[in-house]
Amino acid sequence: MNIIFVARILDVRYAPLLGANASVAFDGGQPLPLLPTASPGVLELPIPAGASTLDVTIEAKGFWPIKQRLTLVAGALPTLAFGGVQEVGARNLEAHSRGADVNVLCNFVLGQLKDARAEVDAIVAANGAAIPYFAPKDHLIRELGGSLLQAGSRGWDRLAHVVSSGAPSGRLLLAQRQTTPKLVAFYVPDRTFFTFQRESRDPVGNAVPYHVFFTPSTAHMSRTYPFHLDYVDLIARYLLFDQVFDVGKAMTNQQHVSKKRAVFVFPIASPLERFAAMPTQSNLLRILEESSYWLQRMLGVAFPLSPVGKCAVSAFSSGADSIEQMLDAPFGSFDHDHLREIYAFDLFKADPNPLITKLRSWFRSGKDGRKLRVYTQDHRWRAGMLDLAGATTLPPGPSNAFEQDSPSSTLLYAPASTFWRDMKSEVVPVASRGRFDDVPDTYDRVHQFIPALFMEHALSRSTFADA
C-alpha cells in the first residue's frame, strides 16, 4: 500500500488557489516539491516508507506562507494529525482510499492576514508612559438618544443623553498585511461569530456585520511603518483611551454601549500611501472576506463558515478622501449586497460639495435600507445636506445648533464658535464624572471630539448590525 500526501490549496472563499508552491520535508530531510494533479489547486507526493513526520510549506505571491508540521498515524486506513500548533491556514484533515493505496490530505487556506499581536505588544511594553494600557477598559460614555438637541437645557443636557458604563467584553485582535494598510486592528464583540456545535446556529445563515473606519492622514507620523509607537498609539487613542477631546475616542466603549454585534475594523494608514487601494469597493469586500476567515480561526472556529454580512463605512476629518474613493469605485455585489450605512464625522475637504453630491446620490439610489449620518461644525456641510429624503428639520437648537433627523438620516450642525463655547460656560461639574465634564470650545478640539462622541449615536440607530 502506497500512502500519498495530498495538499488542497484554497483561498478564503474556498476556491482553488492557482499558482501556489508547496513542498514537504519527510522526517527532517530536504524539502521536496509537491507535484500538480489534474485537479486545480491540488498537489501531491508519495510518502516514503517508514516516514512519520511531514513539514509542509505552502507559498503564493501576495499571501502569507503556511508552515505546518503533520504526523502520519498508522492504521488500517492511515490518517494525519497536526504536529504541535495548528496554523490558522491549516484546515481539516482527510483520508481516502485510492484503489489499493491511500490519500492523506490536508486543506490549506492561504490568507492575506497574520497575527501581529507580538509585534504590537513589544512596542507597548517598551513605551509604558505613552501607552499605559492596551486593552478595552471601563469608561464613562454619553449614550445619545434619537434626536440630539434639547433646547433650553444646560451643559451636557443640551445633548439628550444618559451616562453609560461597563468595560467592553469583546476581543481586540491585530493583523499584519503585506500591502497597505499593513496593520489592521479589529474589535470583535462577544457572540459575533457562531458555530453550529457551540450555539446550535448555522454559521452559513449568520452573516457577520462589519464597520470600517477611516482615520485622517498619518503623513506626520514615523516612516517606520507600521510597527512604531506612532501607530500603536493611534490604535490606543482611538479604540481604547478615555473619551476626552484631546486624549481618546473610546471607540470600543462606544461600540459596546451601542449593543451592536458588528466587527469594528480600524486600518492603519501609511504616511506615504494612505490606505492605497483599500477603499475601493471591490478591495473592501476582499479585505472583509480575508478578515472574516482570519478572525474566525483566531477565535477558535475550526471551520470558518460565517460570511460577510451588511457593512457600515465611516470616516473622520481628511478620511473624507477614503469615502470619496469608495463612492468613485462602485462594485455591484458590495454596493448592493453589503454597504448599508455611511457615517461622516466632521469630514474635511477644501471643497466638500462634490463629495456631498456623491453622498446624496448614494443615499437616494438605495432601496435597501441605506442610512447616512452627518455630524459637523462646517456650515458648508449643513447647507449641502439639507432636505435629505424623509428628514424632518427639528426646532432650532441652542446657540445656533441645527438638527435634521429621520430613521435613515441625521444632520447635526454644532459650531464650536457658539454651541460648544456656550456649552462650556454652562457645564456644572459633577464630581463622580471627573473628566467626563471636559468640554471642547475651539474648532480643533471640537473637531477631535466629534468621533469620540457621536459614533455611538450612529451605531445605536443602525440596523445593519442587528443580531
Q: How confident is the model at residue 431 (pLDDT cuts 50, 70, 90)?
A: very low
Report pLDDT digits (tens) over 90-114: 989 999 998 899 999 999 999 999 9
Tell me the sheet residues that pair with 159. Answer: 149
Q: Which three cell numbers stand for residue 305?
A: 463558515
Distances (CA, A) of 124 to 169, 267, 278, 291: 21, 18, 27, 24
**142: helix, coil or strand?**
strand
Rounded CA-CA distance 112/12 in Å is: 9
Rounded CA-CA distance 277/292 in Å is: 19
Q: Are 453 and 142 in contact (CB under 8 A)?
A: yes
Report pLDDT digits (tens) over 46-97: 999 999 999 999 999 999 999 999 999 998 899 999 998 899 999 899 999 9
Q: How confident is the model at residue 367 (pLDDT cuts 50, 70, 90)?
A: low
Q: Is 75 left (phi over 0), alpha (psi -120 to 50) or beta?
A: left
Domain segments of the chain as ranges? 3-109, 114-460
Q: Are 4 and 45 in contact (CB under 8 A)?
A: yes
Q: Which amino acid is at 356?
A: I
Rounded CA-CA distance 19/40 in Å is: 10
Q: Are 51 and 44 in contact (CB under 8 A)?
A: no
The pLDDT assigned to 193 comes to 73
Report pLDDT digits (tens) over 255-285: 999 999 999 999 999 999 999 999 999 999 9
Distances (CA, A) of 258 to 77, 130, 463: 52, 29, 11
Q: Which three cell numbers stand for residue 258?
A: 451601542
The pLDDT assigned to 83 comes to 93
Rounded CA-CA distance 361/371 in Å is: 12
Q: Which amino acid is at 303?
A: F
Report pLDDT digits (tens) over 161-173: 998 887 898 999 9
pLDDT of 131 higher than 60 = yes
Window from 358-372, 401-415, 423-437 with minimum mean pLDDT: 423-437
Query: Starting at the edge strand that comes first in sequence, how are the strands of the sheet with 53-59 ordered?
Result: 32-33, 21-26, 53-59, 66-73, 79-82
CA angle 351, 347, 360 (to 5 degrees): 75
The pLDDT assigned to 301 comes to 86
Average pLDDT, the chain: 92
Q: Which amino acid is at 5?
A: F
Q: For cell 505588544, what's the residue? A: 121
Is beta strand 21-26 parallel, antiparallel or unpaired with respect to 32-33?
Answer: antiparallel
The CATH code that applies to domain 3-109 is 2.60.40.10
- For residue 148, give the H/E element and its range: strand 141-149
Distances (CA, A) of 234 to 113, 188, 226, 257, 314: 20, 18, 11, 22, 17
The pLDDT assigned to 245 comes to 59
Higher pLDDT, 453 or 433: 453
- For residue 155, give the H/E element and its range: none
Q: Are 418 and 172 in contact (CB under 8 A)?
A: no
The pLDDT assigned to 416 comes to 93
Q: What is the mean pLDDT of residues 211-216?
A: 98
The pLDDT assigned to 365 comes to 87
Indicate if the alpha-carbon torsion angle 293, 294, 299, 303 is positive or negative: positive
Window from 282-291, 345-354, 440-449 with minimum mean pLDDT: 440-449
Q: What is the mean pLDDT of residues 201-214?
A: 82
Q: How confident is the model at residue 1 (pLDDT cuts 50, 70, 90)?
A: confident
Rounded CA-CA distance 465/260 in Å is: 6
Q: How confident is the model at residue 433 (pLDDT cuts 50, 70, 90)?
A: very low
CA angle 219, 241, 445 (to 5 degrees): 60
Indicate if the alpha-carbon torsion angle 333, 335, 339, 345 is positive or negative: positive
- For residue 125, give the H/E element and its range: helix 117-126
Residue 208's closest CA among 285, 96, 306?
A: 306
Q: For cell 497597505, what's the residue? A: 180
The fraction of the chain above a pLDDT of 70, given in percent, is 94
